[in-house]
């Protein structure tokens, strides 16, 4: 049985594996854990550790502007300063920029008219 299959089987039975440095602990409903299951875990412990570690890699991150927690894939990284932006903040920033440009143009127009 592969580590992934063992993990799926444990989860099907309501057993949760907890990764700690150098070992795997488990939380199981009463009476669910059997010597056979324990042996399965022991058999593929290193592979289970690797599998669980890869699952725990953060998939979400915070927007650096408003602090909203989002899926990493939904955040946009600023090319200049590496800040992360959620779609809302990105849109707001875009709007602000457009407004600034509009105001700038209006000032230019007025200056030109006054001359
Ligand atoms: Zn945001």
Q: How far is ligand 1, taken at its centre, from the CA of residue 65, in Å?
A: 5
Q: How far is ligand 1, taken at its centre, from the CA of residue 60, in Å?
A: 13
Segments making up each domain of the chain, as ranges: 3-55, 60-114
Question: Rounded to two decimals, what is the model's pTM?
Answer: 0.47
Taking each helix axis as running N to C, give the angle between helix 45-55 and helix 3-12, from 0 to 180 degrees, rounded to the nearest 10: 70
Question: Where does 3-55 sit in CATH, by number?
Answer: 1.10.10
pLDDT tens readout for residues 53-108: 777 767 788 999 999 999 888 899 988 888 999 999 999 999 999 999 988 877 77
Contacts of 40 (CB under 8 A, 6+ apart): 1, 6, 9
Instruction: Give CA–CA dist 63/75, Å, rounded.
Output: 7
Q: Given this model, what pLDDT does residue 96 score? A: 93
Lowest mean pLDDT among 5-14, 15-24, 44-53: 15-24
Beta strands of 21-75 (E only): which ranges? 23-27, 60-62, 69-71
Q: How far is ligand 1, taken at its centre, from the CA of residue 54, in Å?
A: 27
């Amino acid at each position: 049985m592969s580590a992934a299959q063992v993990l799926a089987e444990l989860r099907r039975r309501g057993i949760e594996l907890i990764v700690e440095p150098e070992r795997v602990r488990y939380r199981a409903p009463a009476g669910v854990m059997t010597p056979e299951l324990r042996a399965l875990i022991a058999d593929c412990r290193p592979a289970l550790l690797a599998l669980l570690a890869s699952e725990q890699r953060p998939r979400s991150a915070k927007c650096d502007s408003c602090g909203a927690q989002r899926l990493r894939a939904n955040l946009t990284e600023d090319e200049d300063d590496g800040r992360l932006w959620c779609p809302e903040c990105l849109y707001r920033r875009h709007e602000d920029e457009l407004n600034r440009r509009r105001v700038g143009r209006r000032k230019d127009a007025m200056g030109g008219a006054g001359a």
